[in-house]
Copies of this chain bind each other. A is one copy, B any other.
Amino acid sequence: MPIIESLITVDKKLNVPVYLQIANSIIGHIRRGILKPEKALPGSRVLAAALKVHRKTVVAAYDELYAQSWVDVYPRKGIFVAKNLPDVQPKSIAQNAATNGIAAITYYEVGEQQVPFPLQFKAPAPQNIVFNDGFPDTRLAPVDLLVREYRRFGNYHFTSKYLMYGPEQGSENLRNELARFLSETRGLQVSPENILITKGVQMAMYLSAQVLLSKNDTVIVPDPGYFMANEVFEHTGAQLAFVPVDDHGIDLNAVEDICKKKKVKLLYVIPHHHRPTCVTLSAERRMQLLELAMKYRFAILEDDYDYDFHYASSPILPLASADYYGSVIYVGSFCKTIAPGIRVGFIVAPQNLIEQLTRLRRMIDRQGEQLLEEAMANLLKNGDIGRHLKKTNKIYHERRDVLCRLLQEQLGEQVSFNIPDGGFAVWMQYLNGLNAKAISQKAAEMGLSISDGSGYYHKNDNCNFIRMGFASLNVKELEDGVEILKRAVEKVS
């Protein structure tokens, strides 16, 4: 037993709450195989004494582990590492995986295709309440923190160096802080060399697609899925292969069926709160997907833009955190954390791939905004981002619950939905033959902008599912919005 206590280090000066440090540390050891399934864990009193923390802290840590399914609790026996864990054994992203998977690619080709682009995100009528696609509330954006950082830059002599040409790969300070943040929040053990700072997930996808894909390559994408991602893949001349999505994420049998028929180059997945259906890819499927990627040698583009907004318990660790083979490109963003208009995202990948991505990035726009990147680095370092995430998670959690309760109360007979584990939207189906398009039109007349159900599926635009963003509306606005929606539904019934 003393072994376990000695594996755990607690640093009360860190921003991460102590109970999470303990939980994350234990998760790390389970993933590394040091703590095997069914291994007994020390009682909370014992561990608390050993770590010199309050017993409640250890109880909270164990609660967290239980909520995340890392441990089984048997009354009167104790706490054990869960029996049915996928045998996750995370590693730092393999530096020497260069002979396998994407790490082996040294140069890239650019495909050839003529692609028409729909220009979306048209502005809704002013004054309307908007159930948008699932965006954060910019009224909560910590502009004051950003401005504080900019003000400090204005006073410093060294600021002039951030105004010159800088590293194409992104601010070194930001990459250092981000490596720490990713380790603490996601169990991703990466060094700053594995990170490229981008302008949001959009640029991360564009760069990855351009570097990895050639004309007629096959890319597996979910259907319904994210049209902006599909557009980026098609722009390279690659062919899309669609797989369905159920309550636990993408259908892996469908993935394997495609792999058996043709060579697949890339698979695109949104593991947390799939867009548009809001489902979370289960831990079991994550491990299976990694196995498929190894077996059929395709790369995975893991778009985890929503990881930091999870309300159900803790989010599931990324595929990239258990990726032995260097087959995962992990992309994320602070565009939901700060604001969509503040474009800071990142790619985590093997170093030789990062080098190629960086070269393309340099050709596109030379570098990011250094002052913004330095400001982000400071906000991460100071713990401002962590605090802001806590604050907004609480608010969005409440807004999700309010919307779901209102829908149930007001429209319970007319709609069906699952409560999403996190994110910014609810995926809702209209029942009783209700037509999403008609409702959307009627609602617009009554002062509510809401999806008409088009654009989610690759082919069928007549589905009666819609995505309802709740995060950017406060409780009053949600109430008013659902009230209008109810009246619109009544009118078209």
Q: Which residues of A contact B (CB under 8 A)?
A: 107-117, 119, 121, 135, 138-139, 141, 143-144, 146-147, 150-151, 153-154, 159-166, 168, 198-200, 202-203, 206, 214-215, 228, 231-232, 235-237, 338-343, 358-360, 362-372
CB pairs A–B below 8 angstroms (23 shown): A107-B114, A109-B113, A110-B112, A110-B235, A112-B215, A117-B359, A117-B360, A119-B168, A119-B358, A119-B362, A143-B153, A143-B163, A146-B154, A164-B341, A199-B366, A203-B364, A203-B365, A206-B365, A231-B363, A232-B363, A341-B371, A342-B371, A343-B366
Residues of chain B contacted by A339 (CB below 8 angstroms)? 163-164
Residues of chain B contacted by A364 (CB below 8 angstroms)? 202-203, 206, 364
Residues of chain B contacted by A214 (CB below 8 angstroms)? 112
- Assembly CA distance A162 to B231 (angstroms): 25
- Assembly CA distance A161 to B150 (angstroms): 20
Q: Are B362 and A117 in contact (CB under 8 A)?
A: yes
- Shortest Cβ distance from residue A431 to the other chain B in the assembled complex, whole angstroms: 31
Quick one: closest B residue to A209, CB to CB?
Answer: B363
Q: Are A110 and B111 in contact (CB under 8 A)?
A: yes
Q: Are A154 and B147 in contact (CB under 8 A)?
A: yes
- Shortest Cβ distance from residue A438 to the other chain B in the assembled complex, whole angstroms: 27
Q: Which of A110, A339, A341 has the most CB of B within 10 A?
A: A341
- Shortest Cβ distance from residue A362 to the other chain B in the assembled complex, whole angstroms: 7
Q: Are A200 and B237 in contact (CB under 8 A)?
A: no
- Assembly CA distance A339 to B163 (angstroms): 5
Q: Which of A165, A199, A370, A372 has the most CB of B within 10 A?
A: A165
5 A-B pairs besides A109-B114, A117-B360, A138-B161 with CB distance below 8 A are A141-B160, A141-B163, A164-B340, A165-B340, A369-B369
Asked whether A164 and B135 contact (CB < 8 A) given A114-B108, A365-B202, A367-B341, the answer is yes
Residues of chain B contacted by A200 (CB below 8 angstroms)? 365-366
- Assembly CA distance A112 to B231 (angstroms): 19
Residues of chain B contacted by A112 (CB below 8 angstroms)? 109-112, 214-215
Contact of A365 among B144, B153, B199 (CB under 8 A): B199
Contact of A363 among B109, B151, B202, B362 (CB under 8 A): B202
Q: Are B160 and A138 in contact (CB under 8 A)?
A: yes
Q: Are B165 and A135 in contact (CB under 8 A)?
A: yes
Quick one: closest B residue to A150, CB to CB?
Answer: B150
- Shortest Cβ distance from residue A65 to the other chain B in the assembled complex, whole angstroms: 30
- Assembly CA distance A360 to B232 (angstroms): 10
Quick one: closest B residue to A159, CB to CB?
Answer: B143
Instruction: Please provide the 4 A-B residue pairs with the shortest distance between their CB atoms, ordered closest to farther.
Output: A163-B339, A199-B365, A147-B154, A117-B359
- Shortest Cβ distance from residue A145 to the other chain B in the assembled complex, whole angstroms: 9
Asked whether A138 and B116 contact (CB < 8 A) given A202-B364, A369-B369, the answer is no
